[in-house]
Structure 1
Amino acid sequence: MKKSIMTAAAALCLGIACSCSEEDYKTVDPSAGNILEMTASGTEIKLDEKKADSEALALNWTTGTNKGTGNAITYTFEMALKDSDYSSGYKEELGRKAYSKTWTAKALNDFLKSNFGAQSGVKASYKARVTASVAEYDDLAQESSVEFTVTPYEPVSTTLYMIGGAAPNGWSADNATELTRTSTGVFSWTGTLNEGELKFITTSGQFWPAYVREGSDASGKTLRYFSEQPSDDLDLKFNIPEARGYKITADILNLTFTLEEADVNKPPYDAIYFVGDPTGWSFVRMTQDPVNPFVFRYGTEFTSGGEFKFGTSDGSWENMYKASEESASIKNTGVQFVKGFDPDPKWKINDEETGKAYKIAFDITPGKESMNCVEFVPYESLWLIGSAAPHGWSLDDAASDDKCRLKAGDDKYILTWTGDLSAGEMKISCELKREWDGCWFMPTSANKPFNTVSDEVISFVDSNKDSGVDRKWIVENAGNYTITVNQLAETITIVKN
């Protein structure tokens, strides 16, 4: 039932508590004469994908009035085509303290297409209104509206592939080489190209639509778009002068093509940082693999769940490697590189996945980026095997006593051994498998001198997967040593006693 203003005023005069809390008084304009008025930042809006992240439309309004009742005001936003009823359009309950609706160019483009079937390049007229409703007083509702036109754009492709005699996979559209999207409309790829021709397609398995070389540009640095196959004289390709490493950048928004020589044996970043809820959002530098510098490793025990991602500079939230989707499972290997701040999808560790140790191998090889997070169950013992070890190459003898055995102490991930070594070669077995397969800890290079070191990186090798890897330490100076292996961090400390 509606209440009158007189009733509310009488109740206030008598000191009777109204239905609003003290906070409600703070949420509304105390003025009884404030008129609800909506304004638009523009009346003729042409959206441009080159300004996708810039503000395109802002609808703002004043608070309206509660006519001195002291009751809270809530707001309802509606939008419709100019010649349609609001009932057939979009409606959103905004609640209290809501005085604006804003969109970036991309957000407004998506909003109009999904809610009103807006057509790219076609101007349409819209109307929007806001309704201010006073709690418990239906007759005090106020409205204000504006009108404007918007012309949407057709978004460029979010995928881009290269084909041609110079491409790694040749002219096969089904096996085209995908470029990495670094921002809206911008794609890059670093790797080895052959001498020959090159062009770009937007969809794997389809030769068209495509971006080819613009013939009128003598520099050969301009792209031209065709939705379907043109005549042969327009289907021009880019020329790669010689086989070597290159970095390609294709900007399909500005239709530019850049080809730069690149050292394909050098990773794009020399440092990668793990950051997220498990670290309190501090940046933890990962270990760069000495064997493959494109891979960075991190071993840790997750005591709590939450989100994480990977940085390229300590403390910087730009130029980050992120998950391929929101709240990605730790089993999801997909990676995307984000140049700015957004989008910001992350991997998520669920509560039931905590209380366990994990090893992360993060590969930043351009075009082959991946995140592998594997649960690690620590070994209770490790064994020294080789001509320098107390039992030589005999696995059976090594298993018979503790002369070759590294044991864990209070920290289950750290194992230690003290004893005499002979001159010779040696590696460390995790399992003593009789077929000489299984898992091993080895030096990062073949025939590595067995010298005094502290927390030196070693390699964890699964012979079932890396059957060709068999590196050993060379002990030149026989004597008494203490060896400490951190199997989670994958490091070794050697002390000559």
Structure 2
Amino acid sequence: MKNIFKLGIFAMLIMSAAACNSDDLTVLTPSKAAVLTAPAEGTVFVFDKTKATEVATTFKWDAAKYEGAATAVSYEIEMAKSGTNFQNATVVSVTTDKLKAVTVGELNAAVLNCGLSPFEPQDADIRVKSYIGEGGIVQYSNVIKISVTAYSAWDNWGLIGSATPNGWNDPDTNLDYSLSTKKYSYTGPLVAGEYKFRLDDKWDTNYGDDGNNLSLEAGGANIPVAVDGNYTITVDFTAKSYTITKN
């Protein structure tokens, strides 16, 4: 009899707790996604490394809506290579406001992080992700396509000279940079002639090879190329050394 009485009390407590919980429980459901309104579709950005701290643009959107009790909505501005359906997307910025000013440096970093190359105009897709709680109940805004020309986060070294694709004319033939080896490289055509390495398409900082012995000297002699062909050049500007191999 005592056991039956105890079970009855226990059941009543469970029912009471459930009733209280059902009264307090608020169900939140997505109602309307944010609408990205700025920047405009097709806006062209050409980033300048010397203006990294200046505001590049202000992203603006109409607020996302959720049915239920009022709660804070978080927003992430996402960027991805155009046409990839936001695979390998990167987060430009996070806020709880309906607008966000982003600097040249921040937007440039996002361009590189989502896999776009520096120094050439490319298309990127932008959208706003809204959510409440710890990433729950997500909605995505419309997508806006922009054109971006980024600068590299590393020094901009290039080749110039009669042996290179552009000859002695600007711009230089840019060298690729490896984050793993910290070295620069070029693979492509060279013709019989000569070349030098220079920084930022200017003669202020340039390297040649006075002894033609694969070591670099500031302002050194032009480096000769004997015959036309496809070559790979690898450069270590820290060690002041390079290799050149005909493929």
Coarse TM-score class (shorter-chain normalised): 0.3 to 0.5
- Structure holding more helix per residue: 2
Ranked by relative contact order (alpha carbons within 8 Å, sequence separation 6 or more), the top structure is 2
User: Could you tell me the TM-score, scaled by structure 2's length?
Assistant: 0.44
User: Could you tell me the TM-score, scaled by structure 1's length?
Assistant: 0.24
